[in-house]
Amino acid sequence: MLAFFKAYRYFAIVLLIVSAIIISIFYNILKPQRVLPIYQPSMVTSELVDSTIQFKRKYHSIADFRLTNQNGETITQDAYKDKIYVADFFFTTCPTICIAMTDHMLQIQNEIINDEEVMLLSHSVTPEIDSVAQLKKYALEKGVIDRKWNLVTGDKKDIYELARKSYLAVLDDGDGGKFDMIHTENFMLIDKKRQIRGFYDGTNPEDIKLLLEDIKTLKAEYKK
């Protein structure tokens, strides 16, 4: 009996390896692929959403916009047509969370530098301070690459409505001031249909890792 097992042990080893490979292949074929959610206003904390759309449950997307970037160029949705992009809200003189947020946007920029499908978009919540010249100065200091990342300013009402009615990302200051905002650490992942596919803490390195993985997941959707 011992001689029998010795004679066939190499065959048994090969059979086990082949079986493991076959099982692995079937597992990868049959396992469900992860799909990112499509966020609607009703899925987001009410503090971040304008009351007029708070209970909307479907068909939400980012509205058309017309803003000005660090080079004085007009930026509209056309600049992001057929693109995946990461959006946030910041201001150049922010001494607190914006420092980490900008550092993490730079990290994402480095990761997507050669990826033509992915871009970045940062909106100033203090457009009265963040002129084109101020945004350009900030962009040069931080290492912003123009073809990948737009820092935009514009009419405060327009930015407020984008923040609260489109990106569902920014707090109202609550003091009754018209179109005043308290920006948050939120990064938003936007798909090619202008839909929100993820929210992330822009100050948290672990969330940035997740965001980069979710970009890959989202890109895979378009390859099916």
Residue 213: per-residue pLDDT: 98
How many Å apart are CA 152 and CA 144, to the nearest integer? 12
Residue 17: per-residue pLDDT: 58
Low-confidence ranges of the chain (pLDDT < 70): 1-32, 174-178
Residue 193: per-residue pLDDT: 97
Residue 19: per-residue pLDDT: 53
Residue 93: per-residue pLDDT: 95
Residue 40: per-residue pLDDT: 97
Residue 21: per-residue pLDDT: 57
Instruction: Report whether 60 belongs to an annotated binding site.
Output: no
**pLDDT tens, position by position, 180-206:** 888 899 999 999 999 999 999 999 999
Helix (H) or strand (E) holding 50: none
Instruction: Report whether 183 belongs to an annotated binding site.
Output: yes
pTM metric for this prediction: 0.84
Q: What is the per-residue DSSP string for 68-101?
A: E-TTS-EEEGGGGTT-EEEEEEE-TT--SHHHHH
**pLDDT tens, position by position, 15-52:** 555 554 555 454 444 445 778 999 999 999 999 999 89
Residue 6: per-residue pLDDT: 53
Residue 183: per-residue pLDDT: 83
Instruction: Report whether 104 belongs to an annotated binding site.
Output: no
Cβ-in-10-Å burial (0-12, 13-18, 19+) of 217 comes to: middle
Conformational region of residue 173, where left means phi above 0, alpha means psi within -120 to 50, and beta covers everything else: alpha
